[in-house]
Amino acid sequence: MKLILVVFLFLFNSAKVNQPVRDKLDWLEINLVSEKIQNESRPVIIDLYTNWCYWCKVMDKKTYSNKKVIDYINNHFYAVKLDAETKGVVKWKNKDYQYNNNYKVNEFAMYVTSGQLSFPSTIIIPDMNSAPIAIAGFMEPKEIESILKYFGEGAYKKQNFQEYQSKFKSTW
């Protein structure tokens, strides 16, 4: 009887380990977002990071792997993960952004942060006619919730963020 129980527990635990991970963000290439937005308008969220940034890695593990964050972003945003130091050409709104040797970053990173580079930075572009909004620094899921919902639910069209946040009730 004990042997059957041990085999059963082993098989049960093995089945849990082998289950495919379904809860991931649908990261898109920045160059594809312009096409997608033409079919369905959504805000864009950009995780602007560097490979050497410790807090960028923490945000990946704590925030961007949180199920509620994943579900909300996947359903309300076009999500882009962009290395600020990419040497590849970044295309956005019919403009090509190149790597800048003087600053050691891509010019797109300079554009979306208005030259105030900080890593990680969460960039929100509410719509194609809006300027990017850069939020510098690491954020826990509960800290990013009000920002995501402010833009994801379109509240930014009706009220300023301080007003929205003063009435906001966190559910995460």
- Distance, in Å, from the CA atom of 48 to the CA atom of 34, rounded to the nearest integer, reads 18
pLDDT at 85: 98
- Terminal-to-terminal C-alpha distance of the chain: 44
Task: Flag whether pLDDT at 19 surpasses 70.
Answer: no
pLDDT at 69: 98
For residue 111, how many other CB atoms are within 10 A of its CB? Answer: 18
**Percent of the chain at pLDDT exceeding 70:** 87
- Distance, in Å, from the CA atom of 161 to the CA atom of 148, rounded to the nearest integer, reads 11
pLDDT at 15: 45
Judging by beta carbons within 10 Å of its beta carbon (0-12, 13-18, 19+), is residue 134 exposed, middle or buried?
buried
- Distance, in Å, from the CA atom of 103 to the CA atom of 135, rounded to the nearest integer, reads 20
Q: pTM of the entire structure?
A: 0.85
pLDDT, mean over the chain? 89
